[in-house]
Structure 1
Amino acid sequence: MTMPEGLPIIDTMIGFPAKDMKAQYAFITQQTKDKESKEEFAFPAEYMFKKPPDKEKALQESDDPVAYTLGEMDKWGVAKGMVGVGGRGEEGAESTGEEAIERHPDRFFGAVNGDPNEGMAGIEKIVRAYETWGVKAITMFPAGCFPQVAINDKKMYPIYAKACELDIPVFVCTGIPGPRLKFQVQHVEHVDEVMYDFPELTYVSRHGCEPWTELMVKLMLKWPGLHYSTSAFAPKHYNQRIIDYANTRGADKVIYAGYFPMGLSLERIMTEMKNVPFKDEVWPKFLHQNAERVLKL
């Protein structure tokens, strides 16, 4: 049950170093109210993670963020990474993703952020990213929208409909968010209505679904298109209910995602990953096969 050597790994949430993290995450801190988030944190959820000062300095001083991330991927066996393209407004993030795909199309592929507050202009942005970059998914952060928009809000429905039309999945932050934002818009119970109204939709949760993981497992049993990804969680903190589900009826539903460089290093992820008790037959599905199927890679 130890993680096998040599399996290809697809990371469905990876990014790049940024010299000005505060500018990159201004879209979140524009609605936070506590002093730490506003003035002290470089990364809005950094209170949840530990980062060695030398690693932080190396990330901030990198002159070639694409090369830095690619070097980490090579070192830790990550074959491909899903990165943001198409523009969301935070400084530099999507343009770096576009540069990465241009330079290394065999290693990076794109996802575009869906913002329900943008209305039809947002739908046009998704289509443009699909036609320009061949994006494989739409990403959504309901609690990070300004103003916030619930997972099942009807302003979200044009994005879900477009995902179905383009036949690409949505990756949606689900559960209590790490940044100090209100959580109700990301309650797992909202997912049920969305899957009922869009049975053709492929929905992949991000960021753990906690504290409603048990509910998420019940919903994954119910809805064929519903999946779970492990983004923002170090492997030693993977929820035991998710591990049990992957080892039984959910082998096709659980997808690996990291959180580099936001809160976790690939070194920490892959070092801890060896101790996750997945069954032998689950590992290839978790590390790459489920992502390949869902994202049509």
Structure 2
Amino acid sequence: MSGPVGLPVIDTMIGFPHEGSAQYDFIRRQTKDRESKEDFDFPVEYMFKDVPKELPTDDPVSLVLQQMDRFNIERAMIGVSEEYATRALKTFPDRFVASGAILDPNDVMGSVNAIRRDYEEYGIRATSVFPAGTFPQVAIDDPKMYPIYATCVELGLPIFVCAGIPGPRVPFAPQEVSRIDVVMFDFPDLVFVTRHGCEPWEDLAVKLMLKWPNLYYSTSAFAPKYYPKAIVDYANSRGADKVLYAGYFPMGLSLERIFSELPNVPLKEEVWPKFLYGNAARILGLAD
């Protein structure tokens, strides 16, 4: 058996299907172009083909579990702010991993308190933030983020952060990959995992991962055929322990598409178990 076939998977970015598109209102309130405000159900619809739509919503948790079983996803990380997260976490604690989300880092103490509350109530294993999607925008290295990073270090939580040009039509400056450098300098114990590609600075992301031991890269929002070559090359060399799998179902990609393309990614045989499972298990504290 070669490549990813038959290997267990931890998906570090999965969600539940929803009716309508109200979950993207936080993007629409800051976009200015007509398509984003009026035409797109999904804010980055112009970038993705075959976005999963019209999925049944009568039992979203069961639907996601069926998809997970189909593609050997043993565990999936979900945001506790998701509508169905509480039921999923309570009913299937062995399949779902709780993650927080920093919705408005402009509210510094509110964000810190939310992390602590989610940690105590849900046992979150991580939190996340979308810098370009905050309103007003808060950059990766903004002083408002520092108490949030400090809280993550104190609680031993990794933070998953979107980095690189965002898909929604909002300014990219808050997510410039160079901003990560000073954060890792100031918080050497912070486990920082990038989301959504780091493009067009993927080469810089590799350099920074070589430099900072606790900086990682996840493949969320990218179909495997578009994984950056610099990232694949890094995973095959010195970065086997630094790159981890993340999907984007049902937001923009079907698991069928992802797992049909994965075998064509030229990762070395010994890298696949780490990429699909081991690195996430270690970062999230799920390793045996």
Shorter-chain TM-score: which interval? Answer: over 0.9
Is 2:269 the partner of 1:280? yes
Higher helix proportion:
1
* RMSD over equivalenced CA pairs, Å: 1.2
CA deviations 1:179-220 (Å, max 9, x no partner) are 111000000000000000000000000000000000000000
How does 1:60-99 map onto structure 2 within 5 Å?
61-85=56-80, 87=81, 94-99=82-87
CA distance in 2, matches of 1:177, 1:34: 15
CA distance in 1, matches of 2:76, 2:161: 17
Deviation of the 1:95 alpha carbon: 2.7
Contact 1:2 1:277 in 2 (8 A): no
Contact 1:137 1:171 in 2 (8 A): yes
Provide the residue aligned with 2:101 in structure 1: 113
Identity %: 60
Aligned residue type for 1:69: V
CA distance in 2, matches of 1:49, 1:14: 17
Contact 1:11 1:81 in 2 (8 A): yes
CA distance in 1, matches of 2:157, 2:57: 33
Partner secondary structure for residue 10 of structure 1: strand
Contact 1:255 1:291 in 2 (8 A): yes
Provide the residue aligned with 1:49 in structure 2: 48
TM-score (ref. length: structure 2): 0.97
Provide the residue aligned with 2:194 in structure 1: 205
Provide the residue aligned with 2:135 in structure 1: 146
CA distance in 2, matches of 1:96, 1:47: 28
How does 1:164-183 map onto structure 2 within 5 Å?
164-183=153-172
CA distance in 2, matches of 1:98, 1:227: 28
- Out of 115, 123, 128, which is 2:117 matched to? 128
CA distance in 1, matches of 2:92, 2:33: 40
Aligned residue type for 1:72: Q
- Out of 235, 243, 256, which is 1:246 matched to? 235
Partner secondary structure for residue 265 of structure 2: coil
TM-score (ref. length: structure 1): 0.94
Aligned residue type for 2:78: V
Partner secondary structure for residue 81 of structure 1: strand
- Show structure 1 runs of 5+ residues with no match: 88-93
Runs of 4+ deviating beyond 6 Å: none
CA distance in 2, matches of 1:122, 1:219: 27
CA distance in 1, matches of 2:160, 2:200: 19
Deviation of the 1:2 alpha carbon: 4.3
Aligned residues: 285
Contact 2:220 2:246 in 1 (8 A): yes
